[in-house]
Amino acid sequence: MKYVVRSRGDHESNVISQKIKNYLQEFQLIESKEAPDIVISVGGDGTLLEAFHQYNHRLDEMSFVGVHTGHLGFYADWQPDEVEKLVIHIAKTPFKVVEYPLLEVIIRHYGEKKSERYLALNECSVKSTEGSIVMDIEIRGELFETFRGDGLCISTPSGSTAYNKALGGAILHPSLASIQLAEMASINNRVYRTVGSPLVLPQHHTCLLRPIKEADFQVTIDHLTLLQQDVKSIQCRVAEEKVRFARFRPFPFWKRVKESFVTG
């Protein structure tokens, strides 16, 4: 079993990361930054998002687990005082793996520039660099509506508790292979009209965003912000790939939702 420990970089996360590495070395486990079987992220959900993007080229060969040094995270659900227990689990037991769906985003451009493909663990958001965005939204090849407003957010089920939730989107169980499209402040008048509710699309239902007029867009993929020019379309659907999380104990999703948003 090869491992890598990724710290957020603050003092507490670095201390915990070193502690985990020392324990794992005692168990004769091998550290490998290039080809780990397990990635242990120490920090918060943002640290795990960064780790996901660092290793998203070998998702079917590895699993992630997160330790939180701040508040309880959705991806970072182990506490610092539990790391000894966590290391024993990693070293001694064949662990269970749960797989969560991801979002595939393909951005196509006018002109010479080729298309770009991204995978998101949480979401892709599309905003204008200036004013509102105006986009045709196609679902399964059919025009659904023309959107004008601040922006659009397309999230994964596990990302539904992040930005999507702040936009009034529904919380989806991560076992549902789906994506959710949520509006950011749509303009509704005699010219522009949108459905006004978040939409949940199943696997293989592609959502295509087509800008009506040439503009620059600010596209974010999780924590990464990209300036996109000459955009012809942004295609979103459930990805073929999945992300794997190592599970050493039950921590039901709805319990995590409750502890994060209701009782927490």
Do residues 56 and 32 touch, judged by C-beta distance below 8 A?
Answer: no
Do residues 217 and 128 touch, judged by C-beta distance below 8 A?
Answer: yes
Beta pairing class for 199-202 and 178-186:
antiparallel
Window contacting ligand NAD (CB under 6 A); options: 38-46, 127-135, 137-145, 239-247: 38-46
Residue of 53, 193, 223, 247 interacting with ligand NAD (CB under 6 A): 223
Residues 47-66 that bind ligand NAD (CB under 6 A): 49
Catalytic residue among 10, 45, 81, 150: 45
Residues 132-151 that bind ligand NAD (CB under 6 A): none
Residue of 16, 124, 162, 231 interacting with ligand NAD (CB under 6 A): 162
Should residue 46 be labelled a site residue for ligand NAD when binding is judged by CB under 6 A? Answer: yes
Residue of 104, 123, 145, 183 interacting with ligand NAD (CB under 6 A): 123
Residue of 3, 13, 36, 45 interacting with ligand NAD (CB under 6 A): 45
Should residue 245 be labelled a site residue for ligand NAD when binding is judged by CB under 6 A? Answer: no
C-alpha to C-alpha distances, 109 to 114, 130, 215, 228, 239, nearest whole angstrom? 7, 19, 12, 9, 21
SS3 234: strand
For 94, residues 6+ apart whose C-beta sits below 8 A from its C-beta are none
Neighbours of 134 (CB within 10 A): 17
Should residue 180 be labelled a site residue for ligand NAD when binding is judged by CB under 6 A? Answer: no
Q: Is 45 assigned a catalytic role?
A: yes
> Which positions are catalytic?
45
